[in-house]
Amino acid sequence: MFRLDNKTAIITGGGSGIGKAIATVFAKQGAMVNIFDMDEAGAANAVNEITENGGKAKFYKCDVSNQAGVQQIVDSIAAGGPIDILINNAGIAHIGNAETTAETDFDRLINVNVKGVYNCLHSVIPHLKQNGGSIVNMASIASLVGIPDRFAYSMTKGAVVGMTLSVAKDYLKYNIRCNCISPARVHTPFVDGFLSKNYPGKEEEMFEKLSKTQPIGRMGRPEEIGYLALYLCSDEASFITGCDYPIDGGFVKLNN
């Protein structure tokens, strides 16, 4: 069950964190993984780890906000065979409310978190239409509940949910399924960097505090997000489309 043999997957932001975990899980299950990332060192390391364990992976330096660049890479992959899976994982975070969010930061989040998802959908869907396939977009619980000081970030993730529903509806007849995943806090290198930058000397204390905001008492692990993405892209999930899956340790429903 949950095998991806002979499947070709594109995973944006696959060089670290959740994206790397998804790439690793997919490769273990037989997929040919194509990692799009701007971090050459991180992506190269991810590819090496996958191939050393018998998996298949390639890295493409790609700015998802650049449509022409995305299109060129996607077409080159498709020239080698069908594309079956798209994981829109690349994204950036921002802290601030409507007053403190600068226009430059607002535009930057739109370009990566919204336009980046659109660019990949725009380029990949024509290839998925040939044989059908699965798309998973990475949203966030910030699109479901109010999170303090996440104005621009929450806005972009709400857009991701909207795009997910639209694509699911428009491409049913092509056997393309489209879902999204909404994680709560997941322990990635980004979290460690955020804590060291904003809470020097108090990293351990703040990590514990952030962990306990999930009712389950801890942050998620990247591979746990990878397992959910695997299920949604597998044949076992063939009856599922147009859904948003919170994976949040009870954050949305149990935080009373």
Active site residue 174: no
Task: Based on the fold, state whether residues 207 and 171 are members of the same structural domain.
Answer: no
Does the residue 37 lie in any domain?
Answer: yes
State the pLDDT at residue 255. 85
Task: Based on the fold, state whether residues 158 and 214 are members of the same structural domain.
Answer: no
pLDDT in tens, 74-103: 999 999 999 999 999 999 999 999 999 999
Query: CA–CA separation, 122 vs 185, rounded Å?
Result: 29
CATH number at residue 132: 3.40.50.720
Task: Calculate the alpha carbon distances from 235 to 98, 125, 177, 225 in Å.
Answer: 42, 18, 11, 18
Q: Are 245 and 220 in contact (CB under 8 A)?
A: no
| Number of domains composing the chain | 2
Q: Which domain holds residue 210?
A: 186-219
State the pLDDT at residue 201. 95
Q: How would residue 3 be classed by pLDDT, with cut points 50, 70 and 90?
A: very high
Task: Based on the fold, state whether residues 47 and 119 are members of the same structural domain.
Answer: yes
pLDDT in tens, 211-243: 999 999 999 999 999 999 999 999 999 999 999
Task: Based on the fold, state whether residues 85 and 145 are members of the same structural domain.
Answer: yes
Task: Based on the fold, state whether residues 105 and 227 are members of the same structural domain.
Answer: yes
Query: CA–CA separation, 138 vs 164, rounded Å?
Result: 10
Task: Tell me which of 60, 118, 153, 174 is the catalytic residue.
Answer: 153
- Of 137, 184, 177, nearest to 161 by C-alpha is 137
Q: Are strands 85-88 and 8-12 parallel, antiparallel or unpaired?
A: parallel
Average confidence (pLDDT) over 40-52: 97
Query: CA–CA separation, 194 vs 200, rounded Å?
Result: 10
Which residue reads 């020097």 in tokens? Answer: 200
Query: CA–CA separation, 179 vs 49, rounded Å?
Result: 28
137's CB contacts (< 8 A; 6+ apart) are 88, 117, 160, 161, 163, 164, 178, 179, 180, 181
Instruction: Tell me the sheet residues that pair with 36.
Output: 12, 60
pTM above 0.95, yes or no: yes
Task: Based on the fold, state whether residues 108 and 213 are members of the same structural domain.
Answer: no
Q: Are 33 and 57 in contact (CB under 8 A)?
A: yes
Query: CA–CA separation, 97 vs 149, rounded Å?
Result: 5
